Chain A
Amino acid sequence: MSLAALQQEFMGHVLDEERPLPRHWDARMGEGLAIYRNAYRTRLIDALRETSPKTALWVGDEAFAQAAAHRLILHPPQGWTLDLIGEGFVETLEELFAADPDVADLAWLEWAMHLAFTAPDCPPMDAAGFAEATSDFGEEDWATMRLAFMPSLHVRAVSRDCGALWRALEREEPPANAPLPESPMHCIVWREGLEPVFAQVPARDGNHLAAMRAGSSFGEICAALAEELPADQAAAEAGAMLGDWIGRGIVQGVSSGLPVAG
């Protein structure tokens, strides 16, 4: 057997215990393979549990291990880093717990916090920096202004108050039911210094944040707000949102004019 064929065969046995042994691999080989298979499963399920400990606590260890195993069977890891083992796990939980959207919301929050933990280091733009960068802005500049956000920023519309759920699980006091937010919410995650943090914001702010992050201009956001609110309120709201983002430290830079390619 060539080395490539041997490695394909061996990996096949690591991934699948039902696979029949080739004729020239004896029972002793089978015992060894079982050790590698077992170590593979344990390591990867543990790695998923390490990135989603609150989700594991929320759904219970057995249900979590089943979901993790389901994920790994359908999507065995391809990359070299175990750090990204949780990529796509939220989608798996959305399918498996379709009736309980709080599970995927919570898992998303843990995954976003995990990604923020090792996101690139860069200082946020503070209010003074923003004032300086926009000091000579004319009307056209404000309309075409685009923001660069911190690389640690993640935004998601959530159906439950996953912040309250997070804090309850942190105290290891899981509530009977996931708390409902008072009004539709987005959850945002970013990093302050070395600490990943999250906050919940009203759905409207969250939608506009997501739009600007996807490349919308400030003018487009203002126009969208003007359709929802009276003109003076829309302008005030746009300014307040911008101030809130800068205050939180999720803005990294500002530019105006036509978007630069790339």
Chain B
Amino acid sequence: MSGIPSFHGFGLGLRRPHYSAFMAGDVPVDFIEIISENYMVDGGRPLAVLDAVRERYPVAMHGVSLSVGSAQGVDWDYLARLKALAERIEPLWMSDHLCWTRTSAHNSHDLLPLPYTAEALDVVCANLARAQDALGRELLLENPSSYCSFPDDEMAEWEFLSEVCRRTGCHLLLDVNNVYVSARNHGFAADDFLAGIPMERVRQIHLAGHTPGAILIDTHDREVCDDVWALYAEAIAMTGPVATMIERDDAIPPLPVLLAELDVARDIAAQTERRAA
């Protein structure tokens, strides 16, 4: 099984309003992240755009439909299509979420929360091991935002994630905004989360904006808030240099706005590195 290449830098997601700029290759980013499912199609413009972008940038594949926590196992057809896309574009790495999306009958098209139980841990590890075998590579698993926690929980999310890493050899995609959102929603300390996961397994960081309220919602429709920037500084002090990207999926602004926001991440990373030196 192939390992994950050593790579760090600053990136953005490939979204439709910015296709032409990324195809021209004149966007100053180090890598691009795609939503894998948007390109798991037979042909036509999406793949033509992706091929053109891939000629100019390294690409990370980020999936939303693996459903690694589903009790009834992995979807082999999905994995076969995902693998075909990976063979086409040779991504930096592939990631998905610690969640479930479907039952045998229905697909929610959402990242639904898992109970952090020994049974769920066995299911996630078995599914992830099968997926990694089928894809021939180690995956990155991302911590999601969640809005429910179950009375069945037997461990904390970070303990669960650590154990998945230990048993499957997977890596982590640390979404700093999701740590913040879930910490607020479930009343744990974000610092405990950061201290509790194997930071050396973090290969990528996500930053994003959320909607405030009694329950915070991970909407990706606004800029990263100050608290999340502060948490990012803490996280990269622990990980060292790591690939970082900003997710924006709604109310998508012009590229210069996102690039300016990405510069904030660059500045924080540079300051953190200077302090460490």
Interface size on B, residues (CB 8 A): 46
Q: Are B107 and A79 in contact (CB under 8 A)?
A: yes
Q: Are B107 and A191 in contact (CB under 8 A)?
A: no
Q: Is A198 an interface residue (CB 8 A)?
A: no
Contact of A11 among B43, B108, B117 (CB under 8 A): B108
- B147-171 vs A, Cβ < 8 Å mask (1 yes, 0 no): 1111110000000000000000000
Q: Is B115 an interface residue (CB 8 A)?
A: yes
Q: Is A24 an interface residue (CB 8 A)?
A: yes
Q: Are A44 and B72 in contact (CB under 8 A)?
A: no
Q: Are A44 and B109 in contact (CB under 8 A)?
A: yes
Q: Are A4 and B43 in contact (CB under 8 A)?
A: no
Known A-B contacts A77-B106, A83-B41, A119-B44; the reply to A29 vs B148 at CB < 8 A is yes
Q: Is A225 an interface residue (CB 8 A)?
A: no
Q: Are A3 and B151 in contact (CB under 8 A)?
A: no
Known A-B contacts A76-B106, A119-B42; the reply to A4 vs B71 at CB < 8 A is yes
Main secondary structure of the interface of A (DSSP, over half): helix
Bound Cα distance from A149 to B10, whole angstroms: 45
Contact of B152 among A1, A36, A116 (CB under 8 A): A1
Q: Is A142 an interface residue (CB 8 A)?
A: no
Main secondary structure of the interface of B (DSSP, over half): loop
Q: Which residue of A lies closest to B70 (CB)?
A: A7
Q: Are B115 and A6 in contact (CB under 8 A)?
A: yes
Question: Of B97-105, B132-140, B240-248, B264-272, which binds chain A?
Answer: B97-105
Q: Are A80 and B42 in contact (CB under 8 A)?
A: no
Q: Is A242 an interface residue (CB 8 A)?
A: no
- A109-142 vs B, Cβ < 8 Å mask (1 yes, 0 no): 0000000111111100000000000000000000
Q: Are B147 and A118 in contact (CB under 8 A)?
A: no
Contact of B150 among A6, A14, A39 (CB under 8 A): A6
Minimum CB–CB distance from B245 to chain A (whole Å) comes to 22
Q: Is A177 an interface residue (CB 8 A)?
A: no
Bound Cα distance from A151 to B41, whole angstroms: 13
Contact of B107 among A29, A35, A78, A119 (CB under 8 A): A78
Interface size on A, residues (CB 8 A): 43
Contact of B42 among A11, A40, A118 (CB under 8 A): A118
Q: Is B48 an interface residue (CB 8 A)?
A: yes
Which residues of B have CB within 8 Å of A44? 109
Minimum CB–CB distance from A30 to chain B (whole Å) comes to 9
Bound Cα distance from A2 to B47, whole angstroms: 41
Q: Is B191 an interface residue (CB 8 A)?
A: no
- B52-80 vs A, Cβ < 8 Å mask (1 yes, 0 no): 00000000000001010111100100100
**What would be 18 A-B contacts, judged by CB atoms less than 8 Å apart?**
A2-B71, A3-B119, A7-B112, A11-B112, A29-B148, A32-B113, A32-B149, A43-B109, A77-B106, A77-B109, A78-B105, A80-B78, A82-B109, A117-B45, A118-B44, A120-B42, A191-B44, A194-B48
User: 8 shortest A-B CB distances, which residue pairs?
Assistant: A32-B148, A121-B43, A118-B41, A4-B71, A32-B147, A120-B42, A80-B65, A3-B71
Q: Apart from A36-B110, A119-B42, what 14 extra A-B contacts exist at CB < 8 Å?
A: A3-B123, A6-B150, A7-B100, A7-B112, A8-B103, A14-B110, A31-B214, A32-B149, A32-B215, A35-B217, A43-B110, A80-B107, A117-B45, A118-B41
